[in-house]
Structure 1
Amino acid sequence: MILTKRDKVIIGILIVVPTPLWILLVRAWWFMVIKASTIPMENVSG
């Protein structure tokens, strides 16, 4: 099986990048989604 340079880069990223970093990215993405839809939440005071 011959891997191209791009394949090696993708595999390297998937191996090197730790799972906690992916979790942080997902949380940050969800935070943006929730923040974008916080119009009804303005009436709720924490």
Structure 2
Amino acid sequence: MPRTGGSYSTSDLSRKSGDIIAEALRHAVTITQRNKPRLVLLISNA
């Protein structure tokens, strides 16, 4: 199981998408909406 990384809000995803995507290349990132987990982003570069 991949290591879970940072947690970001949907607003963060809009403002810092490049940084969040770069982090998701390394490990899973949780995206929250109204302080509740909504999705986990994990990008494979394989």
Range of TM-score over shorter length: under 0.3
Higher alpha-carbon Rg: 1
Identify the structure with the greater helix proportion: 1
TM-score, normalised via structure 1 length: 0.25
TM-score, normalised via structure 2 length: 0.25
If asked which structure has higher relative contact order (CA below 8 Å, sep 6+), I would say 2
